[in-house]
Structure 1
């Protein structure tokens, strides 16, 4: 690990004349970067922390790592016209591309935005949680991401999780990682809200390892859906061919079904 995050280094890298980011807070430890970012109340702000004690993942899961072993970053962006359906997917894409750029590790996506590392049996190294904030003026979205940097196997809560170190990355520069992620997020946001939103959609689809796989889609309010993931549609939904026909899912917990043997 190449030291902890440095707020001044990140500000110099991100708060430039050609960047949309306006401000950045760095905390050695915090309860939740997403909660703090929501309190900031404006888009294009960033909150980063070396440790958070009350992190949350999708589907109301708690998320915590031992101090000094991970990076948490939450960024606020305007609510995209037409809704925020593609924003969580492009946040995952930005994280995957940043990991590859900084560490050289191959990173793939499990729909909607889990970042998997094939070098460690497709275990998850990063997750994303997006939350729409209203009541503070114009609606905006808090985009939260947590990256496991150098946890040992024993420090991870489940066997399906990994860290950059476990996958073979050495001396990860956390400042470069966060800067690459936020630069990518800003770029993909601009592309999504620009004249050619098909470009970021195509980039996501190329990196999504879910399409073509046998999957199970779990939702708390209904029975699991099983079938073959055949596409990610233009609304960002996962399209699954199952025994009862073809369905498009806007949310759910996806499991890649491994082939026997």
Structure 2
């Protein structure tokens, strides 16, 4: 009987290790990428920042660095899967920070944000679009680890017209635009109630003293109501424990019958 119990413990331990390994493989498979693209001098193109194989995406912050002598970022907008907070774009230094969120959670291959790029350099110029994943969490505020894949922006001949290498696609997370959570209220972003919008050309860029987009998105998740269904990792571990319990029960009955 003692020998059978020892074997049962070993089986349960092995099952748990396999389940944890499956969760780690799933986490490692998450990738963040931006498409390669081209535009003529003075032209612009919009490309998506994609996240592949994510589970219960809740919020995140991604920095994009680029050569400001070749390209400027002139806009960052929502996707079907994600609501973007006012971005922080610095076309002098060549860096933009974008934070976005989805309180309902979305899984699979999604679009984090759509980025509009304008060619300011001459024909033949180029710039690497380098991504830096600052932070990403699921709807339970648990960190999500992911790899990144940078893109390349190329300037073609002519002027004025954009020639995208690839066009943005809708995310496949299964949500329509009407199902996305509404934009963050002004009070969350630190704006004064009743204040008039800034109509200056630089209004797309936030003031230096605004609330941090990442903190805003994460705070919005923390106050959201409802619980998110457990992820695939929790289900795998639960099934492994159940399997171990059934094996233990079967061995106990078998040992008692001898």
TM-score of the pair, normalised by structure 2: 0.28
Higher relative contact order (CA 8 A, sep 6+): 2
